[in-house]
Amino acid sequence: MPSKSRGLRTSTGCWTCRKRRVKCDEIRPSCKNCQRVHRECIYVEKPAAPHRPQALSARNPGHSSAATESLSSNCITEPTSDSRPMDGPSSEPVAAVDSWIPFLTGQSELPENGITGDGFFLDDNLFTFEDNLTSSFGPVEWYDLLAEDAISSMQEQPKSNRWNFDITSLSRKQSPRQELFPEPLDDLVSHVDAQAVSISAQLWNSVTKIDLKQDELVFFDYYIDVVAPILDLFDPAKHFANVVPHIALHNVGLLKSLLAVGACHMALERDQNYTNEATRQSQADTPALTSSASSSTQKIAEQFYYETLHYLSQNLLYQSYTSSIEILATGIMISTYEMFATAGTSDHSNWDRHLRGAFWIQRNTETNGESVNGLQRAIWWAWLRQDVWAAFRTGRPALTIHQPKVPMAELTSEELATRIIYIAAKCVQFAATPKQGDIVAYIEAGETLLRMLDAWKRTLPPSFEPIPIASVSQGEPPTSALADDRMVAIWIHPPAHAAAVQTYHFARIVMILNQPSTGGLNTYQTRFKLLRESTATICGIAIAQQSQNLPSAFVSFQAVYAAALCAETKDRQSEVLEILGTVLSISKFPSISILDELADVWSGEN
């Protein structure tokens, strides 16, 4: 019988009562509450209570292998090829892809609001979002946050760096205006696709296309050629390259934000190019180039950003604008700008706050990964990719509360590639959730996520499998004793599928390090092997020649960084650190200081 003490919450009642947050008398097969309201009464068996795990952000990778001892034997199938006792983890090389060990997928009957056809149900009440889901937060509050940060930043700069921009113009003091052409968002974006762009007739839009100045054309072109492919990696329709620029030519705010993103990333590119050129010139004893072009480009990016905020201050007065596709696209441009701005610092606070603002704009417009309109979906997935990394780095839960309705078996290969981003977000959410609450529900959520990962892996079509590559000629000996244990390049085509596989292994690492359970030596060995497999696969994809491009490097760095937390030897740490450095030289994001932080973690200083 459950405890009758005041304040204690039972975790053995039926699922229906627990979801309704009412006391259950636990009568089987149907409790009195369910009988009274004619609801289906469902009981879910509970596993044994485990030890409390450490959060991923607080875990010392030097002890990550020991932490794997707690893997539940009813979540992972034990290897049967060799069960002899061992003094420590095996040092034998692990196949990067073929030898992964699946989780059991047996499932109990679940509530009707589980994910259709998959039998997965995640209780978002378990996850702690702190003040991120404050119902009063909306586009206006988001803008006020942007303006406050911008004004603070400008006031810290000398007047010579502020251009001719009036800080007071960012103030939002007018009252909302009545509009002549109010339209719901569904009508505004229902016909937006890569071939035909429907521009809404609103006072805050330009009826004719905006003429680009020659200097603006440079950044506009750079955005389309360089930045948009990063955002479009998982989008076969390439909305950020093919659709957003056309919408921007009718909306000043979106256009200025697009130019700000292009200029900001160009400054990162030029900064590295000028540094490399200066090194070459100094070695040749010739006048060296300076980074003045880079700083000037960054200054231009800031000017475009402030002009974006000025446009927002004037047009958030229109209610239709606050629920438009234009503000959705502008929101993701601003968060992308803030993301690039963190490349020179380890401070992610501004970017993190603005991601939360974008989250609320999307909630107000009911934008998610299954929206009918393709551009809305593309914006949501681009935002979620950023939020997963920001949440992982800051130790907070990812912000998505979306529950997919379409089962995995009905997804296309492109939709499968994005579904793993959602699952990874939930895994980061799980890792950041305090364990002091309902530990049974926490374990259930972890097991559900492990089953979701397993189901995703089993659903993949052949296009997610590596293309066979002969690494060593037959009869040719390895170059060193460690050659057999070094990372082997893995080519998966198309690039979105390679990035999806890396994201899967990123999520699996997060879960293995955070899912509490009980187990002995065999379980420890199994978890250790899974971590090594995920590390080998992530790094193998990252070092493949086909991954040496900007869009792939963005995903590679994040996944390799998670894999680095599991590097168990000095040699493996050095190898992973070298891969991270190579990928970072391509991605230009995040700050290079993250490599120093990683070295501190390995040394036990953090």
DSSP assignment of 66-94, as one string? HHGGG--TTTBPPP-S-----SS---S--
Domain for residue 121, yes or no? no
Judge whether 102 lies within some domain.
no
- What would the mean pLDDT of 310-339 be, rounded to a whole number? 89
Do 314 and 458 belong to one domain? no
Long-range CB pairs of 213-218, under 8 A, 24+ apart, other chains included: 215/300, 216/259
Q: Are residues 428 and 325 in the same domain?
A: no
Rounded mean pLDDT of the chain? Answer: 75
pTM for this prediction: 0.73
Of 383, 403, 423, the domain-final residue: 403
| pLDDT confidence of residue 172 | 54
399 and 417 assigned to the same domain: no
Cβ neighbours for 201, distance < 8 A, ≥ 6 positions apart: 181, 207
Examine residue 384 and state whether it is found in any structural domain, yes or no.
yes
* Whether residue 574 is found in the same domain as residue 464: yes
In a domain, 51, yes or no: no
pLDDT above 60 for 163: no
Q: Highest mean pLDDT: which of 82-91, 186-195, 281-290, 582-591?
A: 582-591
Indicate the range of 308-322, 431-445, 489-503 predicted with least confidence. Answer: 431-445
Q: Which of 354, 378, 403 is the last residue of a domain?
A: 403
Q: Give residue for tokens 């679940």.
A: 110
- How many degrees, rounded to 5, is the angle at CA 468 between CA 463 and CA 473? 170
pLDDT at residue 155, rounded to an integer:
53
- Is the model's pLDDT at 316 over the cut of 70? yes
Residues 146 and 245 in one domain: yes
Which of 403, 434, 451 represents a domain boundary (last residue)?
Answer: 403
Give pLDDT, residue 16.
Answer: 78
Q: Which amino acid is at 446?
A: G
Domain coverage including residue 30 = 9-44
Question: In terms of domains, do 375 and 465 share one?
Answer: no
Do residues 417 and 490 share a domain?
yes
pLDDT of residue 88: 37
Start-to-end CA distance of the chain, whole Å, equals 45
* Residue bearing the bigger pLDDT, 126 or 370: 370
**239 and 261 both lie in a single domain:** yes
What would the pLDDT profile of 63-78 be if each residue is shown by its tens digit?
433 333 333 333 333 3
Residue 258 has pLDDT above 70, yes or no: yes
Is residue 371 located within the same domain as residue 418?
no
Tally of structural domains, the chain? 3
Please give the single-letter amino acid code of residue 53: P
**260 falls within a domain:** yes
Identify whether residues 159 and 250 lie together within a single domain.
yes
The answer to the question of residue 106 being in a domain is no
Q: Taking 70 as the threshold, does the pLDDT of residue 99 lie above it?
A: no
Residue 490, pLDDT > 90, answer yes
Joined tokens for residue 300: 């231009």
Claim to verify: residue 430 and residue 398 sit in the same structural domain: no
Tell me if 59 is assigned to some domain.
no
232 plus 353 within the same structural domain = yes
How long a stretch of residues is the chain? Answer: 606
- Tell me how far CA of residue 262 lies from CA of 224, 306, 342, in angstroms: 8, 14, 15
Instruction: Give the 3-state secondary structure of residue 491.
Output: strand
CATH number at 23 reads 4.10.240.10
In a domain, 93, yes or no: no
